Structures are given as C-alpha cells and as structure tokens.
C-alpha cells in the first residue's frame, strides 16, 4: 500500500468524521479549525504560515491531544514523504519548535526537532522558516497539506479501531514550485567602514584579496576550503576575471559553496590618488564584471592596500557597498613563510576578527599551505568561521 494523496490514512488511520448523532450527548471534540495556510519559498528557506480559527498555544497542543502538522508530499502523485508538526518550546526557551518525522508505509518515524525560525504576529497565527534539507528534501517542486488532528474519546471514526479525528487544509494537496535558489546580491547595514566584527560572538572571518590568480590556481584555494569546511570571503580584481576565469566558473563555485565575493577594484590602483569619478569607475567596473559572470552584485568593497579617503568611502556607499578593512594581518604578501603566517594569525585572533590574506597578486603557495594548521588552531580555540556578510548580519538576496 502506497501513501498517496487519498491515503493520509496511514498517518491518521483515515480521515475521521468528528460528528455525533443529534441529541446523543456532548458534542464530540473537534480538530482545531484552520482559517488559512500557505507554504512558499523565500530564498533558501521554506516558509510555512498557518492561521487557526481560535487562539492556540503550541505548548498546549500535546496536552490537549491536538496536533497541527504540515504534510510534505511528492509533486508527481501526492504521496506523503514527511511531516513537520508544531510543538512547544524546549525547556528554558520561549520560541515554539518544529518536529520533523519521515513517513513510511508504517506511519511516522521518530520526531526530531529541526533548526527553524518561528514567529507569531497574533495568538491565532504562526510563521515558521526552515531549510528543505532539514526535512529531507531537495530544491524541487513538492505538494503540501496541513493536517489538524485531535485524539480523544468521543469521535466517530470512519474506520474501526481509530481514535483520531483529522481535517486536511486544503482538501487537495497544493503544488509549490520549489527551485534551487540563486544568490544575486546582499544588502549592507550599519557602518559604511568596518574594521572588525561583533566582539560578543566567537566568530572569525577569513578573507582573501587580489584574485582570481594562477599561482596557485584559484581552484586550489576553493577546494582546500571545501575540504576544511570553511567559508571565506574573496575580494576580486575585476580585470583578473576575464584573464583567469572568463566564464566565471570559479566565482560561481565560490557562491555555491557558501563563500562570499567582494569588490577589490578593476585594476588595483591607489584610489586616494584618483578623482572621485575615477574611484567610482574602478569600483563599479569590477562589480559589473563580477555580476556579468555570476549574476551576483557584491555589497562588500575593499580598497587596494586599505587606502581610503572620504571620497572612496562615499563612492563605495553610493554603489551599495560597505568598505571593509581588517584587524588581523599575517603579512602573507611579503612571503614570510608558512609558519610565520600561522603564528601571526593565531597570536592575534579574537572574537569578530577579520583576517586579511591573499589568493592572488603573487605566488601564494605559503598562504595555501598554511590554511590547514591555521584553521585547526582557530577551531581548537573555539572559533566559528563565517563570511563577512554572515558576521555583519547582512541580508542575502536570492532568486
């Protein structure tokens, strides 16, 4: 027996009729009535919204023998893959939780809490956002329904032996065209000139300047960071892209891996010695090249050698970018040796630290070779690696 659209029966034994005969005693308990529900995609997340016909508390659902669950179903035939149910907060917490259970022919499997953002705008409404991967899904079309149940004596089941009343909303599974999200931009917030991240969080950011490049090839950096499971931020020189990555293959792989790309001017001049119009051209032309090969518009800018004046900051801001400096500098550009790079980074690491290294502009084998020990040493001190957009809390824009 397959779990198909009409067979939510395997979950609830069957859809039950919660109505008693007229004059036969107390009115049977009813599932919580659903006023509205939706499932949509917002960037990387699935967003589930539900509004009930009465006030409700997720923490009271189980105690009252109620449940409100999202059924996730195959697009082709409506067969149920999994369910996501509302639950009360974990002890000591305030936010409601989502409990995920895979569905098999035998019914729901063990329920586990998933990472989700849950908010409420009223006592009748709830919105939850979560990644498809957290509920065993890929980015592809799917169908959904909301199931509201109550499990108490007094219902009149449609099938013998069942003790559950249930309703589905909508009555037929609804298709949502989930697609692989494409990162197209980011939205800066806060100061226009940043030297460091928040000191209260044990985060640190690896950044690399002057690529793409050929010694070593930029993919060597990308692959090593993948192997180490470390995201990074790459500040790119615009004119290097058509020379070393004319099709943007490396840049698209960076973004697909969760790395971030920033603007490092078109040709790496001393911006302070240029007019405002020339400064703007240097920044905007590099951004245009990055967008041409990736579709992504950067919101991070770093001036060559960190040399800025008020005009540079103003031009970058007018183009929608934050100017990024750094506060950990192992001077890898001077080729001090792998060990010196590692020691410098570890000695100067701190919460919110921005490490400035290089993946272009010269032979960067020392920088690449230092990465495994550098990362291991920072992890041993409890640091979490983040991109600059993550560190600064910038919103990412997807299509």
81 contact partners, CB below 8 Å, separation of at least 6? 72, 73, 74, 102, 103, 136, 137, 142
Query: Could you give the CA distance from residue 323 to residue 302 in angstroms, rounded to a whole number?
Result: 6
Query: Could you give the CA distance from residue 206 to residue 214 in angstroms, rounded to a whole number?
Result: 20
Assign domain 183-398 one CATH number from 3.20.20.370, 3.40.50.2300, 3.30.450.20, 3.40.640.10: 3.20.20.370
Query: Could you give the CA distance from residue 191 to residue 269 in angstroms, rounded to a whole number?
Result: 24
Query: Could you give the CA distance from residue 60 to residue 96 in angstroms, rounded to a whole number?
Result: 11
Rounded to 10 degrees, the C-alpha dihedral 318/322/325/328 comes to -170
- Could you tell me if 144 and 357 are in contact, meaning their C-beta atoms sit under 8 angstroms apart? no
Residue 110 carries which DSSP code?
A: -
Instruction: For the chain, give every domain's residue range.
Output: 9-176, 183-398
Q: Is 161 left (phi over 0), alpha (psi -120 to 50) or beta?
A: left
Length of the chain: 399
Query: Could you give the CA distance from residue 39 to residue 43 in angstroms, rounded to a whole number?
Result: 13
Q: CB 124: neighbour CB atoms within 10 A?
A: 16
Query: Could you give the CA distance from residue 192 to residue 334 in angstroms, rounded to a whole number?
Result: 29
Query: Could you give the CA distance from residue 8 to residue 169 in angstroms, rounded to a whole number?
Result: 12
Query: Could you give the CA distance from residue 57 to residue 66 in angstroms, rounded to a whole number?
Result: 10
Max intra-chain CA distance, the chain: 91
Q: What would the two tokens of residue 217 be?
A: 């090839």
- Could you tell me if 178 and 144 are in contact, meaning their C-beta atoms sit under 8 angstroms apart? no
- Can you give the pLDDT at residue 23? 36
Cα-flanking dihedrals φ and ψ of residue 343, to 5°? -60, -40
Tracing tokens 């790395």 back to the chain, one arrives at: 259
- Can you give the pLDDT at residue 62? 87
- Can you give the pLDDT at residue 29? 73
Residue 399 carries which DSSP code?
A: -
First to last CA, the chain: 39
pLDDT tens sequence for the chain (399 residues):
344 444 454 454 433 333 333 334 455 678 999 999 999 999 999 999 999 999 999 999 988 889 999 999 999 998 999 999 999 998 888 899 999 999 988 889 999 999 999 999 999 999 999 999 999 999 999 999 999 998 877 665 545 565 568 899 999 999 999 999 999 999 999 999 999 999 999 999 999 999 999 999 999 999 999 999 999 999 999 999 999 999 999 999 999 999 999 999 999 999 999 999 999 999 999 999 999 999 999 999 999 999 999 999 999 999 999 999 999 999 999 999 999 999 999 999 999 999 999 999 999 999 999 999 999 999 999 999 999 999 999 999 999
358 is a catalytic site residue: yes
Q: What would the two tokens of residue 10 be?
A: 């395997």
- Can you give the pLDDT at residue 151? 83
∠ CA 163-164-170 to the nearest 5 degrees?
160
**Which among 45, 209, 245, 259 is annotated as catalytic?**
209
Buried residues in 363-392 as b, exposed as e (16+ CB within 10 A)? ebebbbbbbebbbebbeeeebebbbbbbbb
């Amino acid at each position: 027996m397959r779990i198909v659209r009409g067979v939510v029966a395997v979950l609830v034994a069957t859809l039950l009729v919660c109505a008693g005969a007229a004059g036969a005693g107390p009115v049977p308990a009813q599932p919580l009535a659903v006023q509205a529900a939706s499932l949509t995609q917002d960037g990387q997340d699935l967003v589930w919204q539900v509004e009930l016909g009465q006030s409700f508390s997720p923490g009271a659902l189980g105690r009252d023998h109620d449940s409100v669950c999202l059924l996730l179903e195959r697009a082709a035939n409506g067969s149920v893959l999994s369910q996501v149910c509302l639950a009360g907060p974990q002890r000591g917490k305030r936010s409601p939780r989502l409990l995920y259970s895979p569905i098999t022919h035998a019914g729901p499997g063990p329920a586990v809490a998933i990472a989700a953002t849950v908010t409420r705008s009223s006592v009748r409404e709830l919105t939850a956002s979560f990644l498809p991967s957290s509920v065993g899904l890929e980015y592809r079309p799917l169908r959904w329904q909301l199931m509201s149940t109550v499990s108490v004596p007094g219902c009149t089941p449609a099938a013998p032996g069942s003790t559950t009343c249930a309703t589905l909303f909508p009555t037929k599974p609804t298709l949502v065209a989930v697609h692989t999200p494409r990162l197209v931009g980011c939205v800066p917030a806060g100061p226009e000139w940043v030297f460091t991240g928040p000191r209260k969080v044990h985060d640190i950011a690896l950044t690399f300047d002057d690529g793409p490049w050929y010694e070593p090839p930029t993919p060597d950096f990308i692959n090593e960071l993948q192997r180490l499971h470390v995201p990074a931020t790459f500040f790119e020189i615009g004119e290097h892209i058509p020379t070393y990555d004319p099709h943007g293959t490396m840049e698209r792989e960076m973004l697909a891996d969760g790395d971030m790309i920033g603007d490092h001017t078109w040709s790496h001049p001393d911006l302070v010695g240029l007019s405002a119009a020339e400064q703007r051209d240097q920044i905007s032309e590099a951004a245009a090249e990055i967008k041409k090969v990736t579709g992504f518009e950067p919101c991070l800018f770093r001036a060559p050698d960190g040399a800025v004046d008020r005009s540079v900051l103003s031009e970058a801001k007018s183009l929608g970018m934050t100017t990024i400096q750094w506060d950990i500098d192992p001077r890898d550009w001077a080729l001090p040796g792998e060990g010196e790079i590692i020691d410098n980074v570890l000695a100067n690491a701190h919460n919110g630290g921005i490490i400035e290294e290089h993946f272009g502009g010269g032979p960067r084998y020392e920088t690449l070779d230092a990465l495994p020990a550098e990362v291991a040493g920072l992890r041993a001190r409890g640091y979490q690696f983040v991109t600059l957009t993550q560190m600064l809390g910038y919103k990412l824009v997807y299509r």
